[in-house]
A and B are shown apart, each in its own frame.
Chain A
Amino acid sequence: MLGIVGRADPARRPKYGGTLRVEIGAVVNSPDPAVAAANPEEAAAKERISALLYERRNADGTFAGVAGSGPFRLAEWDPGKHATLAANPEFRGGRAFLDSIEIQMGRAARDRLLDLEVDKADFAEIPPEEARRATERGVRVSTSQPDELLAIAFVAGRPIAEDARAREALSRSIDRAAIVNFILQKEGEAAGGLLPQWSSGTAFLFSTTVDPAGAKSLWSQISGSPKIVLGYDASDSLAQSVAERIVVNARDAGISVTAEGTPAGANAPADCDARIVRLPMAAPHPAMALTHFLAALGPGSGIDATPLADGASPQQIYDRERAIVSGYRVVPIVWLPQVYGLGARVRDWKAPAAGEGWPFADVWIGDAQ
């Protein structure tokens, strides 16, 4: 069952009132969706905050209406530090149970976890690999369906990246199961395809088995002393751990890989042949999710980003996915869930589906037990 693992609390019908204390790691400088974010982390946080302020979205995913037409209005904004959202009594979908939401920005993951433990925060996003530790420390943890793909995207035009044998060799050398079990502490799924099983229903058709012998055989066919420079976001500890593990796996297969961290938000350095990327699902539906992935990977990946036709059948979606994966220009590694830490007061929290924002409109504050 997807849901909350935590302490049992007295049942209540949703109670109106209270302030939800939220802590996030991102630093959001402007709530305006039109203002570009400096890095993916800020962009994701801005998206979630905006979803609380706007009534609805357009078909293209942009927000419709004016800010404050959603379940909450912006009451206070301290750029990069703090924001206060107040319940919008005029919201058509019904006034939120909460009176307000206090958002603290730029809090490190460790501090967020601590604040949850000592009841200084009611809600915080937790890195998936910290979920188990959080649970052990008594924090209520809510885990979503895996809806974010961690993958390797090769940089088109780089000599080694243009060699299909090198790409396939690297893919075969990766021990995805170990990454899920050890690095992610079993919070996540090994990814062989671009879409998770719960979305496409065909993820099981993509192999995730490590094949060092096959990798070694492919790599040995490449002349010279090739090596792959794998870039990752230096502020993303998970990406770093995964990159370092890939280096070790590749070494077993005789593949020379070096991992290089780059500052958050910076473009991949000029000498990177591939980079670790995070691809959050924009929607639960596989066709929409796949189309969004292709757009997110961009022309630099060398992948055909033609959107899938509306109403594409599962077979068409699968065939397209298989074609992309078989090219190895993007190598899926693991699927990551969104993991949330909840305070003792939080009630009726349901982990949002892929592409959805925080469902704070349905959350209410009860008595802490």
Chain B
Amino acid sequence: MTFRTKLFVVFMLALLLSIGVVAVGVAVVTRRAFEESNRQHSEALVTQFEREFAHHEQEVTNRVQGVADAEATVAMAIALSRPKADVSVYVNDARGVSQSHQLDFLDFIASDGSIISSNEWPARFGYKIDWITQPQDWSGAGSFLMKVDTQEGPALGLMSVSTVRVGDKDLYVLGGERLGKDFLASLVLPEGMRALLYLNLDPNFQPTNLVDEAGTVTEGERLASIVAEEQQNPSKRTFKVAWTPDPASAEAFHALPLLGRQKEVLGVLLVGSSQREEAALERRILLLALGVSAMGLLFGLILSWWGAARVTRPVRKLAEGAREVSEGNWAAHVEVRGRNEVAQLALAFNKMTQQLTEQRERLVQAERVAAWRELARRLAHELKNPLFPLQTTVENLQRAKEQNFDQFEEVFRESTGILLAEIENLKNIVGRFSDFAKMPQPELGPVNLNDVVRGIVKLFEAQFGAVGRPPITPELHLEEGLPTIQADATLLHRSIENLVLNAMDAMPAGGVLMLRTTHENGNVDLEVSDTGTGLTPEETDRLFTPYYTTKQHGTGLGLAIVQSVVSDHGGRIWVESETGVGTSFHIRLPQKPPQRPAAASSPAGESATAESAAGAEV
């Protein structure tokens, strides 16, 4: 991931986080605000209902009192107070009076508690209602809830009792209003709210007893548990019901128990507030928030991308420059804008590359000088060896001609032989230098490195156990299934050969030559290790410098050639060594070498002028 991408991601994450926090915060706050508003609304409604209920109670009390105060009722009471009064005359009175006073329930009850006339159950005349005679005084008792027996079955009524006393006889007027759908319809409820009434007239929950202003409520069973709870433990409580999986269908309820005179639960009023609006509004807010967030994210995305690009541009330039430098273009230059840290970094980078370039140039020059010097030394050394015998031989010839003319022929013959051999030697030295100077480009093909290693070991097998030489034990740790690599088999063979030869040279007293192949991450690794004398760190640093050698003999080009070959294959070679322990050469080759790199400004390249120098093994 690039820095720009990282920065962009960080920007986006930060933005997302911020937006997310804000959105969640808004949602939470909104929801809480709605819930609070809803709660207040519901509480207000409950309070309103309680007020209305109290108003109804008073109305019922007034109406019943109105019946008791009516002339006809007083006349009835007077007539019934006489001995042997005929109550049958009044058996049908309740119906007409209840209609005129808008009462659903009305009973005229004699002093002994027997029903004189009943509107809700006309056939019950004569039957007794004992409880009505219990209180001595009904005035001030107000209204109360009661289970009323009617012809059609039990009903819930808001009732009141008034008495008309004549002498020592009381005429009781028991009247009231039915609590049911009509009562609910009389309540003024705001939009989105409704009232349900459960008539607790049966021991078990009966869905048909749950009514709203339209009649029986469908899916009333959903509220059975709430009703049961109220029956067990009557108190005001709130709860929510989700009618469908859609949150908009949810409804918040306030449950109010309706208690009778004996504090028994006669009904449960459920004031419901639809959550549809809240859910819709929430959804709208959410959608808006999402929209804004998306817009913000998009904007942020663009801005972040632009910002990241802008911020990372100098860094990218720096990175590009660094990459160029890593690729060898030490003259990479980064544009400097501004004066911030990045600009300063760019400046520093430019300075660094400049210095690097200069240093490299100096180094190159120095290396070139050193290489020239080394080459000159090696040349001098190499050439000196054959040149001395040449000189000696020529001097011998001169001497022989001058001093020993009769042996001159023989001396001449011997000397010319020596001269030719040494000239041949010189030619070899020149040839090797020439080879190094003109290293061929590898011709790639599939190569199994294990096969190459095995071939090389077999080639040197005889030399490992040569007579008169301490034995060298080869150890092969070749990974099975090593993937083939694209390489020039010949060049590779020569390079590994060089390494083996070097290892053998590093173990004059014998030892172990270990060859290991592995592969990892698309690369094939070869390790050539010996248990020789090892190298010092300084030797290690200069090991791959052309013409550098630790041997007495050699051109010092072997490892340089190996390095060159490895480099041409897109690989890498490094060495690990410890004096007295041994040395390990590591070669890493890609399975598919990259594009042929540009002509490297390597000492070997730059020292094209040294091509004429003969290649020699280090």
Are chains A and B native binding partners rather than an unrelated pairing? yes
Cβ-defined partner of A181 (8 Å) among B88, B122, B124, B127: B88
Nearest CB of A to B36, in Å: 53
Interface string of B499-515 (1 = CB under 8 A from A): 00000000000000000
**A-B contact sample (12 more), CB < 8 A, given A182-B125, A244-B122:** A132-B89, A175-B126, A178-B126, A181-B88, A183-B91, A186-B88, A241-B122, A241-B123, A244-B123, A247-B123, A248-B121, A248-B123
Q: Give Cα distance in the complex from A248 to B91, angstroms.
A: 15
Any chain B CB within 8 A of the CB of A245? yes
Query: Is the Cβ of A248 less than 8 Å from the Cβ of B88?
Result: no
Interface string of A219-255 (1 = CB under 8 A from B): 0000000000000000000000100110110000000
Q: Give Cα distance in the complex from A186 to B122, angstroms.
A: 17
Q: Give Cα distance in the complex from A178 to B115, angstroms.
A: 12
Any chain A CB within 8 A of the CB of B151? yes
Cβ–Cβ < 8 Å partners of B88 in chain A: 181-182, 185-186
Cβ–Cβ < 8 Å partners of B125 in chain A: 178, 182
Q: Identify the 5 closest CB pairs spanning chains A and B, nearest first.
A: A244-B123, A245-B123, A182-B91, A181-B88, A182-B88
Whose C-beta in chain B lies nearest to the C-beta of A186? B88
Whose C-beta in chain B lies nearest to the C-beta of A248? B123
Interface string of B113-125 (1 = CB under 8 A from A): 0000000011111
Nearest CB of B to A181, in Å: 4
Cβ–Cβ < 8 Å partners of A185 in chain B: 88-89, 91
Nearest CB of B to A80, in Å: 30
Cβ–Cβ < 8 Å partners of B123 in chain A: 241, 244-245, 247-248
Q: List 11 A-B contacts (CB under 8 A).
A: A175-B126, A178-B126, A182-B87, A182-B91, A182-B125, A182-B126, A183-B91, A186-B88, A244-B123, A247-B123, A248-B124
Nearest CB of B to A209, in Å: 15
Nearest CB of A to B401, in Å: 159
Cβ–Cβ < 8 Å partners of A178 in chain B: 125-126
Interface string of A182-219 (1 = CB under 8 A from B): 11011000000000000000000000000000000000
Query: Is the Cβ of A248 less than 8 Å from the Cβ of B127?
Result: yes
Whose C-beta in chain B lies nearest to the C-beta of A181? B88
Nearest CB of B to A15, in Å: 37
Cβ–Cβ < 8 Å partners of B126 in chain A: 175, 178, 182
Whose C-beta in chain B lies nearest to the C-beta of A242? B123
Nearest CB of A to B468, in Å: 126
Q: Give Cα distance in the complex from A185 to B87, angstroms.
A: 10
Counting chain B CB atoms within 10 Å of each CB, the highest count among A132, A182, A241, A247 belongs to A182
Whose C-beta in chain B lies nearest to the C-beta of A178? B126
Q: Give Cα distance in the complex from A248 to B87, angstroms.
A: 19
Interface string of A121-132 (1 = CB under 8 A from B): 000000000001
Nearest CB of B to A156, in Å: 27
Cβ–Cβ < 8 Å partners of A175 in chain B: 126
Nearest CB of B to A364, in Å: 34
Cβ–Cβ < 8 Å partners of B89 in chain A: 132, 185
Interface string of B4-38 (1 = CB under 8 A from A): 00000000000000000000000000000000000
Cβ–Cβ < 8 Å partners of A248 in chain B: 121, 123-124, 127
Cβ–Cβ < 8 Å partners of A132 in chain B: 89
Cβ–Cβ < 8 Å partners of B151 in chain A: 244
Cβ–Cβ < 8 Å partners of A245 in chain B: 123
Nearest CB of B to A173, in Å: 13
Size class of the contact patch on chain B: 10 to 19
Counting chain A CB atoms within 10 Å of each CB, the highest count among B87, B88, B124 belongs to B88
Q: Give Cα distance in the complex from A182 to B121, angstroms.
A: 14
Interface string of B125-159 (1 = CB under 8 A from A): 11100000000000000000000000100000000
Q: Give Cα distance in the complex from A182 to B126, angstroms.
A: 9
Counting chain A CB atoms within 10 Å of each CB, the highest count among B88, B122, B123, B125 belongs to B123
Cβ–Cβ < 8 Å partners of B87 in chain A: 182
Whose C-beta in chain A lies nearest to the C-beta of B125? A182
Cβ–Cβ < 8 Å partners of A182 in chain B: 87-88, 91, 125-126
Q: Give Cα distance in the complex from A228 to B89, angstroms.
A: 31
Whose C-beta in chain B lies nearest to the C-beta of A175? B126
Q: Give Cα distance in the complex from A132 to B92, angstroms.
A: 12
Which B499-539 residues sit within 8 Å CB-CB of chain A? Answer: none
Cβ–Cβ < 8 Å partners of B127 in chain A: 248
Q: Give Cα distance in the complex from A275 to B88, angstroms.
A: 26
Cβ–Cβ < 8 Å partners of A181 in chain B: 88
Nearest CB of A to B431, in Å: 128
Whose C-beta in chain A lies nearest to the C-beta of B151? A244
Q: Give Cα distance in the complex from A247 to B127, angstroms.
A: 13
Whose C-beta in chain B lies nearest to the C-beta of A246? B123
Which B84-106 residues sit within 8 Å CB-CB of chain A? Answer: 87-89, 91
Whose C-beta in chain B lies nearest to the C-beta of A244? B123
Q: Give Cα distance in the complex from A244 to B92, angstroms.
A: 14
Nearest CB of B to A329, in Å: 24
Whose C-beta in chain B lies nearest to the C-beta of A183? B91
Q: Give Cα distance in the complex from A245 to B125, angstroms.
A: 9
Cβ–Cβ < 8 Å partners of A186 in chain B: 88
Q: Give Cα distance in the complex from A248 to B151, angstroms.
A: 9
Cβ–Cβ < 8 Å partners of B91 in chain A: 182-183, 185
Cβ–Cβ < 8 Å partners of A183 in chain B: 91
Nearest CB of B to A253, in Å: 13
Nearest CB of A to B97, in Å: 15
Cβ–Cβ < 8 Å partners of A247 in chain B: 123
Interface string of A34-74 (1 = CB under 8 A from B): 00000000000000000000000000000000000000000
Q: Give Cα distance in the complex from A346 to B492, angstroms.
A: 150
Q: Give Cα distance in the complex from A248 to B126, angstroms.
A: 11
Q: Give Cα distance in the complex from A183 to B88, angstroms.
A: 8
Q: Give Cα distance in the complex from A182 to B123, angstroms.
A: 9
Whose C-beta in chain A lies nearest to the C-beta of B90? A182
Cβ–Cβ < 8 Å partners of B121 in chain A: 248
Nearest CB of B to A190, in Å: 14
Nearest CB of A to B89, in Å: 7
Cβ–Cβ < 8 Å partners of B124 in chain A: 248
Nearest CB of B to A162, in Å: 27
Q: Give Cα distance in the complex from A247 to B123, angstroms.
A: 8
Whose C-beta in chain A lies nearest to the C-beta of B116? A182
Whose C-beta in chain B lies nearest to the C-beta of A136? B89
Q: Give Cα distance in the complex from A245 to B124, angstroms.
A: 7
Which B202-259 residues sit within 8 Å CB-CB of chain A? Answer: none
Nearest CB of A to B75, in Å: 12
Interface string of B339-374 (1 = CB under 8 A from A): 000000000000000000000000000000000000
Q: Give Cα distance in the complex from A3 to B88, angstroms.
A: 23
Nearest CB of B to A51, in Å: 33
Q: Give Cα distance in the complex from A339 to B116, angstroms.
A: 25
Nearest CB of A to B80, in Å: 14
Nearest CB of B to A362, in Å: 34
Nearest CB of A to B493, in Å: 111
Nearest CB of B to A345, in Å: 29
Q: Give Cα distance in the complex from A185 to B125, angstroms.
A: 12
Q: Give Cα distance in the complex from A185 to B90, angstroms.
A: 9
Q: Give Cα distance in the complex from A248 to B125, angstroms.
A: 10
Whose C-beta in chain B lies nearest to the C-beta of A243? B123
Nearest CB of B to A58, in Å: 43
Which A128-158 residues sit within 8 Å CB-CB of chain B? Answer: 132
Q: Give Cα distance in the complex from A175 to B125, angstroms.
A: 11
Which A79-103 residues sit within 8 Å CB-CB of chain B? Answer: none
Which B422-443 residues sit within 8 Å CB-CB of chain A? Answer: none
Nearest CB of A to B187, in Å: 33
Interface string of B157-172 (1 = CB under 8 A from A): 0000000000000000
Q: Give Cα distance in the complex from A345 to B123, angstroms.
A: 38
Nearest CB of B to A300, in Å: 27
Nearest CB of B to A199, in Å: 26
Q: Give Cα distance in the complex from A183 to B89, angstroms.
A: 9
Whose C-beta in chain B lies nearest to the C-beta of A130? B92
Cβ–Cβ < 8 Å partners of B122 in chain A: 241, 244
Nearest CB of A to B109, in Å: 14
Q: Give Cα distance in the complex from A88 to B87, angstroms.
A: 49
Nearest CB of B to A186, in Å: 7
